[in-house]
Amino acid sequence: MIVTSTNTIEGREVLRYFDPISATAVIGANALSEIGASFVDFFGGRSRNYENKLQELYKSVVESLKQNACSYRADAVIGFSVNIDEISGKGTQMFMITAIGTPVLLNEIKHIQAEAVGGDIDGSVIKNKVKASLIIERYTGIYTMDNATAEFIATSRLTEFVPLLFKAMNETGEDQEFKDRQATLFRYFDFLDKDQAIAILYGQLLSDDLTGAQFKIISKAISSSNLIDYDQVAKLLAGTLLAKKAALKVLTLDKDWYSAQDIAYLQTLKGEGLVQLFQEVVTVKESKGMFSSGKEVWECLCGYSNKLDATACSSCTKDKRGFGSEELKPEAVQKLINRRLQVIEGI
């Protein structure tokens, strides 16, 4: 979801304004002073722990604001601002961080950029594409990128950056600077036309080189931007196990509107229709061990052999269908689909 301090979003038209919303986080002044006092250096340098704590508070209120906006089914929050107030009384002193913004429903304005007209070429197109090619050529990781470059990529709408973004999804970092820059980069999909974002994100979910890290970030992007497409879900359910798991996450999301085609597709999954698409992915074979030769075992996707009556792998703990104990299961999504159809049929 886009959160911006401006009152407009380039390439998007505001269809509806909702009432302003806010989110608040409070921390005791003593907690901040203790963090800072322990780490300020001899020359009065700023404490990294102190700054990290403030960043955590800032991110907390922003995420809360996004969640509030999602309850309105909003596409973005505009007019965003943050205030820090001091609260004191009865021997206590605290700081309150408040984020304020206006949720809005957006309409897409197709981004058409005339690259060439009558033999003349738009100079801004050349400028941006040259800059993009240099960024891609010199890219070595999120840590080496500055904030301005991350912002340029996010707002560029240039498809040249797609491979770079999928590569960045596989990078890891624990410090706040890395996380903030990575979050900025992945706002790229918020600025794309919806159909284009769907094609790119679902396309990667269906690719053979999809990684676990990409799966998590793409699933989150689809969820946060409400990029639900049942035609794409059908393709995912016919794909790899990881693609099928992505389909389950999408099927838990609520659409703003259900077309007759959407309802017809959900009907194909009714009853046990969805669950039946998830069969066991293990291989049953004879054991070749010295003391267990000839006994049947099942081999997990991780390569570990388990007793035939074992319900989960002793090594990776996944079951015979390839699901971990904490993962979203087909049965849970099946119940939701059946209930959703009951409501639809009653309308």
Nearest to 330 by CA among 258, 268, 270, 248: 248
In this prediction, residue 320 carries a pLDDT of 95
Domain of 102 in residue numbering reads as: 2-108
The DSSP code for 124 is H
Determine, yes or no, domain membership for 77: yes
Determine, yes or no, domain membership for 178: yes
What phi and psi values does residue 212 have, to the nearest 5 degrees? -60, -40
Nearest to 200 by CA among 239, 161, 238, 234: 161
| AA identity, residue 5 | S
Q: Quick one: 253 and 154 in the same domain?
A: yes
Determine, yes or no, domain membership for 272: no
Q: Quick one: 166 and 213 in the same domain?
A: yes
Q: Quick one: 137 and 253 in the same domain?
A: yes
Nearest to 246 by CA among 283, 267, 221, 272: 221
Q: Quick one: 62 and 148 in the same domain?
A: no
Q: Quick one: 138 and 78 in the same domain?
A: no
Q: Quick one: 129 and 208 in the same domain?
A: yes
In this prediction, residue 95 carries a pLDDT of 72
Determine, yes or no, domain membership for 312: no
Determine, yes or no, domain membership for 159: yes
Determine, yes or no, domain membership for 113: no
Residue ranges for the chain with pLDDT beneath 70 = 11, 27-53, 88-93, 108-119, 288-294
| AA identity, residue 139 | Y
For the chain, the domain total comes to 2
**Is 0.85 topped by the overall pTM?**
no
Could you identify the residue written with the tokens 């389950």? 248
The DSSP code for 109 is -
Among candidate residues 108, 132, 153, the one where a domain is terminated: 108
Q: Quick one: 188 and 132 in the same domain?
A: yes
In this prediction, residue 134 carries a pLDDT of 95
Q: Quick one: 164 and 255 in the same domain?
A: yes
Q: Quick one: 201 and 100 in the same domain?
A: no
**Rounded to whole angstroms, how far apart are CA atoms 282 and 274?**
19
The DSSP code for 301 is T
Q: Are 104 and 80 in contact (CB under 8 A)?
A: no
Cα–Cα separations (whole angstroms), residue 95 to 90, 127, 242, 298: 15, 45, 44, 58
Among candidate residues 260, 291, 311, the one where a domain is terminated: 260
Q: Quick one: 81 and 18 in the same domain?
A: yes
In this prediction, residue 201 carries a pLDDT of 95
Q: Quick one: 103 and 158 in the same domain?
A: no
Q: Quick one: 58 and 177 in the same domain?
A: no
CATH number at residue 9: 3.30.110.70
Q: Which contacts of 200-205 are long-range, i.e. CB under 8 A and separated by 24 or more positions?
A: 200/159, 200/162, 201/227, 202/229, 202/232, 202/235, 202/236, 204/166, 205/236, 205/239, 205/242, 205/243, 205/246
Determine, yes or no, domain membership for 333: no
Determine, yes or no, domain membership for 302: no
In this prediction, residue 282 carries a pLDDT of 92
Among candidate residues 108, 131, 160, the one where a domain is terminated: 108
**Rounded to whole angstroms, how far apart are CA atoms 63 and 198?**
23
In this prediction, residue 42 carries a pLDDT of 43
